[in-house]
């Protein structure tokens, strides 16, 4: 592992390494839990990344796209594993982007009430965000990620070689989350080499997760920009990938923060500049219905005691309850 960067997610006896660098996937056999006789490799048909867990293994293919991030995919995986004879002493390896690690990790968390899982993350979005932290889950028609579990992996391998064939839109999807980290304390990453960008994002997320594993407090800051992003994704009709929606959500959160007096106009401009630097758009998609979007805000997982946003401010990014619907509408209008 010496040629790679290793970031430790410190969770006591459940701590694990995140290994970052070219060829990191080749470390897989060394991080598969000892004693595993078999490994179920979960991936997608279009992911051309071969891995060798060092023990008997079989590949299980899940569907591509958000339509397959659903409970039926979990049942299908678990039944296939049971037919193969996978036991609680074995392990799962999920190879792919955020959808694969979300689905593969959730299935691992419930199969035999939980078996070990290792992630080989193949997208920028997965490497800087989705694969780290132990949140797994699937969508319901009523909302994103409403069914899931906290299930920490045994290790995460972020192989930068797997990013070389990513299409431009997949890069932008990852850059939406990277723009978020700019405002969470990772510093200005715009002129930093790619591998260091990934390491700095992982280090920040690892620190947040170590202090708040189950989103009881500080971890909520990782949802910066996600309230509007999730509403846009749920509402449908908009051709937006997750990172693209997050970029719009970041600018919207800044506009809401401005109207609450938490930040000034210069900070809003900084949000727009960072988003634009990464090739992303910070404007609302045409045809957006403000009534539908505001209704969806109330369904967000953070909306425990009213509509809660994560907003920038004088003490950094924090969860803030916002009850002023007129203010929320005004901020939407500012982005048309």
CATH of the domain at 265: 1.20.1090.10
243 & 148 share domain: no
Q: Which of 38, 69, 172, 242 is catalytic?
A: 242
Q: Which of 5, 205, 271, 302 is catalytic?
A: 205
Does any domain span residue 128?
yes
Domain total of the chain = 2
Q: pLDDT of 88-106, one tens digit each?
A: 999 999 999 999 999 999 9
Q: Is 47 helix (H, G, I), strand (E, B) or coil?
A: coil
What is d(CA 158, CA 23) in angstroms, rounded to the nearest whole number? Answer: 9
64 & 154 share domain: yes
145 & 249 share domain: no
Whether 135 is a known active-site residue: answer yes
Does any domain span residue 208?
no
Q: What is the reported pTM?
A: 0.92
Q: pLDDT of 175-193, one tens digit each?
A: 999 999 999 999 999 999 9
Look at residues 147, 166, 185 and tell me which one is the last residue of a structural domain: 166
Do 233 and 242 contact (CB within 8 A), yes or no? yes
Does any domain span residue 222?
yes
- If residue 109 lies in a helix (H) or strand (E), which one and from where to where? helix 98-110
Does any domain span residue 254?
yes
CA distances from 221 to 148, 243, 279 (A): 19, 16, 23
- Which structural domain range is residue 227 located in? 218-333
Whether 226 is a known active-site residue: answer yes
Whether 88 is a known active-site residue: answer no
Does any domain span residue 135?
yes
Do 271 and 305 contact (CB within 8 A), yes or no? no
Whether 271 is a known active-site residue: answer no
Q: pLDDT of 316-325, one tens digit each?
A: 999 999 999 9
Label residue 47 exposed, middle or buried (CB < 10 Å: 0-12, 13-18, 19+): middle
270 & 124 share domain: no
Q: pLDDT of 42-76, one tens digit each?
A: 999 999 999 999 999 999 999 998 899 999 999 99
Whether 242 is a known active-site residue: answer yes
Does any domain span residue 154?
yes
141 & 227 share domain: no
160 & 19 share domain: yes
Does any domain span residue 178?
no
142 & 223 share domain: no
Whether 5 is a known active-site residue: answer no
Q: At 41, which CATH number? A: 3.40.50.1970
């Amino acid at each position: 592992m010496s040629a790679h960067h290793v970031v430790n997610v410190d969770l006591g006896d459940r701590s694990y390494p995140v290994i970052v660098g070219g060829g990191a996937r080749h470390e897989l056999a060394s991080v598969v839990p000892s004693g595993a006789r078999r490994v179920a490799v979960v991936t997608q048909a279009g992911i051309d990344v071969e891995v060798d867990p060092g023990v008997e293994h079989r590949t299980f293919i899940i569907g591509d796209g958000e339509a397959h991030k659903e409970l039926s995919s979990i049942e299908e995986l678990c039944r296939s594993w049971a037919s193969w004879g996978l036991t609680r002493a074995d392990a799962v390896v999920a190879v792919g982007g955020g959808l694969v690690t979300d689905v593969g990790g959730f299935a691992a968390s419930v199969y035999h009430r939980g078996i070990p899982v290792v992630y080989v993350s193949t997208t920028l979005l997965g490497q800087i965000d989705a694969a780290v932290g132990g949140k797994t889950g699937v969508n319901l028609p009523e909302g994103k990620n409403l069914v899931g579990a906290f299930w920490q992996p045994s290790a995460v391998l972020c192989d930068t070689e797997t990013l070389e064939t990513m299409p431009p839109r997949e890069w932008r999807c990852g850059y939406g989350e990277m723009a978020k980290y700019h405002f969470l304390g990772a510093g200005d990453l715009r002129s930093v080499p790619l591998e260091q960008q990934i390491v700095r994002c992982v280090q920040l997320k690892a620190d947040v997760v170590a202090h708040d594993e189950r989103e009881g407090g500080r971890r909520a800051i990782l949802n910066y920009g996600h309230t509007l992003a999730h509403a846009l994704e749920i509402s449908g009709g908009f051709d937006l990938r997750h990172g693209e929606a997050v970029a719009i959500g970041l600018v919207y959160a800044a506009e809401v923060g401005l109207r609450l007096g938490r930040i000034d106009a210069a900070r809003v401009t900084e949000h727009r500049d960072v988003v634009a630097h990464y090739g992303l758009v910070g404007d609302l998609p045409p045809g957006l219905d403000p009534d539908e979007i505001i209704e969806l805000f109330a369904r967000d997982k953070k909306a425990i005691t009213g509509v809660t946003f994560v907003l920038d401010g004088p003490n950094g990014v924090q969860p803030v309850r916002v009850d002023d619907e007129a203010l929320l509408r005004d901020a939407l209008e500012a982005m048309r």
